[in-house]
């Protein structure tokens, strides 16, 4: 799909396409409702604004669609395909690093109550593990701010793939 085709979609179809980029329904509605967009920068700017304005339950809906770092999502849907590519830095992880990532995921979920979300594209298994360990030291407000930034970065990358 390209931007011209996206701008021409009925709202329901646009929202359905967008949820592969970010599974928060309010975000998809905001982006679909903001059409037409002049260019990709306008779409990604609208995405950043929409993510910043999401209430936390909507952010949690988006988080629920993401697999844990190191766990490969099943299925052939667009989101699963993108997620596998984004986490490819973990593919070569040894058993000890995989176990440490699993433990970091558990500790993070125990502390914050949701999946550890990180922009994983281009990052190694060791980098992703170190980031998880650093973020465990955050207070809840700081971590929620980081989660929104990570979610925005992932949504931007996926919008570029969807509309590029």
The answer to whether residues 69 and 105 touch, using CB atoms and an 8 Å cutoff, is: yes
Query: In the predicted model, what is the mean pLDDT of the chain?
Result: 94
Q: What percent of the chain has pLDDT over 90?
A: 84
Instruction: Please report the domains of the chain, with CATH numbers, ordered by start residue.
Output: 3-163 (1.10.3330.10)
CA 104 to chain centre: 18
pLDDT for 92? 80
**Whole-number pLDDT of residue 82:** 81
Measured CA distances, 76 to 11, 20, 73, 85 (Å) = 24, 12, 9, 12
> What pLDDT is recorded for position 90?
80
* pLDDT for residue 13: 98
Which position has the higher pLDDT, 42 or 83?
A: 42
| Pairwise CA distance, residues 81 & 78, whole Å | 5
Is it the case that residue 32 has pLDDT exceeding 90?
A: yes
Question: For position 85, what pLDDT does the model report?
Answer: 76
Give the pLDDT confidence score for residue 103 in this predicted structure.
Answer: 97
pLDDT tens-digit series, residues 79-136: 777 877 788 778 788 999 999 999 999 999 999 999 999 999 999 999 999 999 999 9
The model scores a pTM over 0.85: yes
């Amino acid at each position: 799909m390209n931007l011209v085709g996206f701008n021409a979609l009925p709202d329901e179809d646009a929202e359905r396409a967008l949820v592969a980029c970010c599974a928060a329904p309010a975000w998809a509605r905001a982006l679909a409702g903001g059409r037409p967009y002049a260019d990709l920068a306008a779409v990604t700017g609208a995405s950043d604004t929409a993510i910043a304005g999401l209430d936390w339950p909507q952010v949690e809906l988006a988080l629920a669609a993401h697999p844990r770092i190191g766990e490969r999502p099943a299925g052939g849907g667009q989101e699963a395909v993108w997620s596998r590519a984004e986490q490819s830095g973990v593919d070569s992880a040894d058993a000890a690093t995989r176990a440490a990532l699993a433990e970091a995921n558990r500790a993070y979920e125990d502390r914050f109550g949701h999946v550890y979300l990180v922009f994983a594209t281009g990052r190694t298994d060791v980098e992703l593990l170190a980031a998880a360990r650093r973020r465990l030291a955050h207070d809840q407000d700081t971590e929620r701010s980081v989660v929104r930034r990570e979610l925005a970065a992932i949504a931007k990358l996926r919008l570029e793939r969807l509309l590029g």
